[in-house]
């Protein structure tokens, strides 16, 4: 990050890389302007849309900004940046979402039962590995259910993570009934007085009815062991896929009740803006953020931290 300011300057005057970053685009849109006119708003709109904020959410942010500017007297770039941050935060953090993010790595139930869903490749298994590592660090007893029985590699990958983190793996092999695996995992966890059960699932979205039935079946199996379980259904979305992630959120919420999100691969993209459109359109809190492939690369999602990070290089001198 040390070289940011230099490259920002380059970006500002030419074709530097950081012009592509969220902050770079925003600053590019408003730098040197003393009033908010059509031109500034248009540039802001483009900056937001190309940062994956999505058209509808962008228009909502612009509308709110216009209202604020009409009300509060706007005098310069710094103010516009802070108004923009305030509006983005308001969008990202309604009360429910703040409560969810305050939960952090806490486990309100014993065992706390979490179903992890999402399409192939978004980072479900990796996120389960990272969560296991985190809970293991806290001295918790972790059970993992290998209910993605669709591919042999999925089970192997999970087994590897469990070896590393010391989590107990319940695995019936490839092709086994996912609901039976989930049942066995929760059952074993209860008997062993475990703290948390993380159930990996397969996300074959191309067959919506099958997916819906399968997830419903897993839920019923888990609930047979622990009333009220699963306590959380976390949908994993790859932030680098932009508006596709929003589409997946819409598709999954149509087939099951999603309680929270894990937004992965935020390390690989300057375009985490999709978090805003998901918050705006779906009202599902983001619980965790994936920022790499290693065990430690998972953070409790903080709306204010996220917005701050987007604007983190905001020294306009």
Ligand X SMILES: Nc1nc2c(ncn2[C@@H]2O[C@H](COP(=O)(O)OP(=O)(O)O)[C@@H](O)[C@H]2O)c(=O)[nH]1
| Residues that bind ligand X in the complex, under the rule CB under 6 A | 118, 120-126, 157, 236, 264-265, 267-268, 290-293, 297
Provide the 3-class DSSP secondary structure of residue 150: coil
Q: Is the peptide bond before 230 cis (omega within 30 degrees of 0)?
A: yes
119 lines the binding site for Mg ion (CB under 5 A): no
CA–CA gap between residue 39 and residue 58 (Å, rounded): 15
Q: Which does 11 bind (CB under 5 to 8 A by kind): Mg ion, ligand X, none?
A: none
Identify which of residues 44 and 234 has a Cβ nearer to ligand X in the complex: 234
- Do residues 84 and 26 make contact, with C-beta atoms less than 8 angstroms apart? yes
**Beta carbon of residue 290, minimum distance to ligand X (angstroms, whole number):** 3
Q: Which does 122 bind (CB under 5 to 8 A by kind): ligand X, Mg ion, none?
A: ligand X
Q: Which of 292, 175, 183, 288 is nearest to 237 (CA)?
A: 288
CA torsion angle for 255, 257, 261, 262 (degrees, to 10)?
Answer: -70
Q: Which does 57 bind (CB under 5 to 8 A by kind): ligand X, Mg ion, none?
A: none
Bridge partners of 234, per DSSP, are 116, 260
**Beta carbon of residue 185, minimum distance to ligand X (angstroms, whole number):** 16
CA–CA gap between residue 251 and residue 245 (Å, rounded): 10
Give helix then strand counts, H and E, for the chain.
Answer: 13, 8
**Beta carbon of residue 296, minimum distance to ligand X (angstroms, whole number):** 11
Stretch of 8-16, 124-132, 210-218, 257-265 contacting Mg ion, by CB under 5 A: 124-132
**Beta carbon of residue 267, minimum distance to ligand X (angstroms, whole number):** 5
CA–CA gap between residue 248 and residue 302 (Å, rounded): 22
The contacts of residue 37 (CB under 8 Å, 6+ apart) are none
126 lines the binding site for Mg ion (CB under 5 A): no
**Beta carbon of residue 71, minimum distance to ligand X (angstroms, whole number):** 39
**Beta carbon of residue 220, minimum distance to Mg ion (angstroms, whole number):** 22
Structure tokens at 81: 């940046």
Cα torsion 274, 277, 279, 284: sign: negative
Structure tokens at 170: 């319940």
Place of tokens 């059509």: 38
**Beta carbon of residue 61, minimum distance to Mg ion (angstroms, whole number):** 34
Identify which of residues 82 and 120 has a Cβ nearer to ligand X in the complex: 120
154 lines the binding site for Mg ion (CB under 5 A): yes
CA–CA gap between residue 238 and residue 52 (Å, rounded): 12
Q: Which of 76, 88, 81, 66 is nearest to 27 (CA)?
A: 81
Identify which of residues 124 and 287 has a Cβ nearer to ligand X in the complex: 124
Identify which of residues 74 and 150 has a Cβ nearer to Mg ion in the complex: 150
Identify which of residues 36 and 198 has a Cβ nearer to ligand X in the complex: 198
Identify which of residues 87 and 214 has a Cβ nearer to ligand X in the complex: 214
Q: Which of 171, 133, 129 is nearest to 152 (CA)?
A: 171
**Beta carbon of residue 153, minimum distance to ligand X (angstroms, whole number):** 8
Q: Which does 133 bind (CB under 5 to 8 A by kind): Mg ion, ligand X, none?
A: none
The closest residue (CB) to Mg ion is: 125
125 lines the binding site for Mg ion (CB under 5 A): yes
Q: Which does 156 bind (CB under 5 to 8 A by kind): Mg ion, ligand X, none?
A: none
How many residues line the site for Mg ion (CB under 5 A)?
3
**Residues forming the site for Mg ion (CB under 5 A):** 124-125, 154
């Amino acid at each position: 990050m040390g070289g940011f300011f230099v490259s920002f300057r380059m970006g500002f005057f030419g074709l530097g890389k950081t012009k592509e970053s969220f902050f770079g685009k925003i600053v590019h849109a408003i730098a040197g302007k003393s009033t908010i006119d059509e031109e500034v708003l248009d540039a802001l709109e483009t900056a937001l849309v190309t940062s994956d904020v999505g058209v509808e959410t962008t228009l909502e942010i612009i509308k709110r900004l216009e209202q604020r500017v009409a009300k509060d007297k706007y005098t310069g770039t710094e103010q516009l940046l802070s108004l923009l941050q305030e509006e983005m935060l308001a969008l990202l953090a309604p009360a429910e979402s703040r409560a969810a993010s305050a939960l952090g790595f806490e486990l309100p139930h014993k065992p706390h039962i979490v179903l992890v869903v999402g399409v192939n490749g978004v980072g479900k298994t990796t996120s389960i590995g990272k969560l296991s590592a985190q809970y293991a660090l806290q001295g918790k007893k972790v059970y993992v259910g290998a209910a993605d029985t669709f591919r042999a590699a999925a089970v192997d990958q999970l087994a590897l993570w469990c070896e590393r983190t010391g989590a107990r793996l319940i695995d019936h092999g490839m092709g086994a009934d996912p609901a039976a695996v989930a049942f066995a995992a929760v059952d074993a966890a209860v008997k062993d007085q475990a703290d948390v059960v993380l159930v990996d699932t397969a996300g074959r979205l191309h067959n919506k009815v099958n997916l819906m039935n399968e997830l419903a079946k897993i839920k019923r199996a888990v609930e047979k062991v622990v009333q009220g379980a699963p306590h959380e259904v976390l949908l994993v979305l790859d932030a680098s896929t932009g508006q596709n992630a929003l589409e997946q959120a819409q598709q999954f919420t149509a087939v099951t009740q999603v309680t929270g999100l894990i937004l992965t691969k935020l390390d690989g993209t300057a375009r985490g803006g999709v978090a805003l459109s998901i918050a705006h359109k779906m009202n599902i809190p983001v619980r965790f953020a994936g920022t790499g492939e290693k065990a430690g690369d998972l953070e409790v999602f903080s709306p204010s931290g996220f917005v701050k990070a987007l604007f983190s290089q905001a020294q306009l001198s």
